[in-house]
Chain A
Amino acid sequence: MTERGRNIFLLAPAGAWFLVMLVIPLAVVLIFSFGERGPAGGYVPAFTLEQYANLPARWAAFKNTLILAPAGTLASLLIAYPLAYYLAVRADARWKTVLLVLVIVPFWTSILIRSYAWIFLLGGRGIPALLAMIGIEDVRLINTPFAVLIGIVYGYLPLMVFPIFVNLDRLDKRLLEASSDLGASPWRTFLQVTLPMSLPGIATGCLLVFILLMGEFLIPAILGGGKVFFVGNALVDLFLQSRNWAFGSAVAATLVVLMLGSVTAYMRLIRRLGAQREDVALM
């Protein structure tokens, strides 16, 4: 067999899979988004921009997503950074790996079960009951944006910690020593040396979390109780309940465009920030 023949044989199954399960379905979504809704749901071929004109009907879902996805990313960053810093710079070298694995492991377990755990904790007999014992009555946590935010941070924290850790861990610790030898206070060393040098890790972590949050369905469905809903929840409703495939496809296509658009804008911003320093490369 020639090398060319060998490569064709090796790539054929994966290529066919990508074509049938990814390229064609995504093309169908795009085509359907310009179609019309059938009388009994489903889809009727057409070429109209009606579905896109109708997008404001789901404005609330887009608004929630565009507020809570960045907010959730920021909250995860604020909680993850000190932990990543501790693990990379301060923690005992013998325990480093174990401690890191302990952060990563939950991410690979069922997000469904982990979000479910918070129904338990935030529900009436969980934390609110504990608060009532110390005299703070009538606290409602479940089915609020706050509950969704907690679920987000809980679910995606590992994804934020990991890239920042890797970045800080590789950082040459002699730079920090040099900074303090030259008389900088620890705080100044952090702001002028550590933080700028860890920008690529922050950028990667934020990107990963943000991408996943844009398509989130489970956390708002479980902890938002139908009151806090994302585009993902609107999509489930449109495809599985009201079977409005044409409009649903337009919402899905818009979500993907919004996601790619914000990711591109974000990458540009990071590149501009990084361009001032040659040693800061993205990812």
Chain B
Amino acid sequence: MRIYAAFVYLFLYIPIGVIALFSFNAGRHASQLQGFSVQWYGKALKNPFVMDALQTSLTVALVSATCASVFGTMAAVALQGMKGPVRVGFDLLIYVAVMIPGIVIGIATLIGLVTLFDQLNPALAAIWPGGAPPQLSMGYGSLIAAHTLFTMALVIIIIRARLAGMDRALAEASSDLYATPMGTFRQVTLPLIFPAVLAGFLLSFTFSFDDFIIAFFVAGSETTLPIYVFSSIRRGVTPEINAIGTMVLAASLVLLITSQVLLRTGRRRG
């Protein structure tokens, strides 16, 4: 049993290890190790395409994770204890957002938004007072909107689990002691769910930063880091991609561990 488990762990970690190992390879050849060097990291970080894609990815991840955590928390708080058709409707939408394959979300967003923009652009041009009217097109906006959709569903699920585990008596006590609903939220509920909100933010950030398939459809002329990596992979394995991959994996690991620690401390305090 033990030996079997060890083999599975090797299976899980050898590929990651190999990538990391070869990213420090001094030679150009992917097949043999020729001494230690960090030159590929330097090359990757000096490559303007990589830096551009990285900046796009970070901006999109930051904005969409922020929107997702704020709007998701708001919705989760409202949905708690709610019954009736609104609750059922939201449950269904959250379920659909998580269940539908990412690729279908990407396609639907692409053709949905392009169709919408085709209608809106002439209308905008007609009412625009002088000068060139703005053209709505796929890019940052659609990337952020699409990532926010999926991650918001994720945040609602996380926060709801946290709210369900919370002692309702605390909020009731607060209102019995004449706190306003807003006061209760700020001084009782929010501090209790805050670790979960932060964990949701970090998970959303990681998801957005790592997402390839939705971005592939909705990015328009923008390039995110996963899109850059995907198109480079088609040209073969290079030490530079190994270096980028290692950095991306390391960054996700840090974010994940932080979010797990937050969820755990939150649970203990609650």
Contact = CB atoms under 8 A, between A and B. Distances in A.
Interface in B63-92: 70-72, 74-75, 77-79, 82, 86, 90
B206 A112 contact: no
Given A14-B72, A240-B217, A118 B4 contact: no
Contact of B103 (A7, A99, A116, A217): A217
Contacts of B70: 13
B221 interface: no
A211 B107 CA distance: 17
Interface of A: 3, 6-7, 10-11, 13-15, 17-18, 20-26, 28-29, 32, 43, 79, 82-83, 85-87, 90-91, 99, 101-103, 105-106, 108-114, 116-121, 123, 125, 129, 154, 157-158, 211-212, 214-215, 217-218, 222, 232, 235-236, 239-240, 245, 248-249, 252, 255-256, 259
A22 B93 contact: yes
Contacts of B14: 121
A154 B249 contact: no
A125 B203 CA distance: 36
B123 interface: no
A154 B1 contact: no
B75 A116 contact: no
Instruction: Kindly name the residue among A6, A14, A154 whose own CB sees the greatest number of chain B CB atoms within 10 A.
Output: A14
B124 to A, nearest CB: 17
A232 B110 contact: no
Interface stretch (B46-54, B162-170, B186-194, B226-234): B226-234
Q: Secondary structure at chain B's binding surface: helix, strand, loop or mixed?
A: helix
Contact of A18 (B97, B146, B217): B97
10 contacts: A3-B181, A6-B181, A21-B112, A26-B108, A43-B111, A110-B226, A110-B252, A112-B210, A112-B230, A119-B233
Given A21-B148, A108-B206, A158-B12, 5 more contacts: A11-B90, A13-B71, A14-B152, A21-B146, A116-B237
B145 A105 contact: no
A82 B237 CA distance: 34
B19 A235 contact: no
A83 B156 CA distance: 31
A123 B248 CA distance: 22
A85 B8 CA distance: 13
B12 A103 contact: yes
Interface string B235-270: 001000100010011001100110010000000000
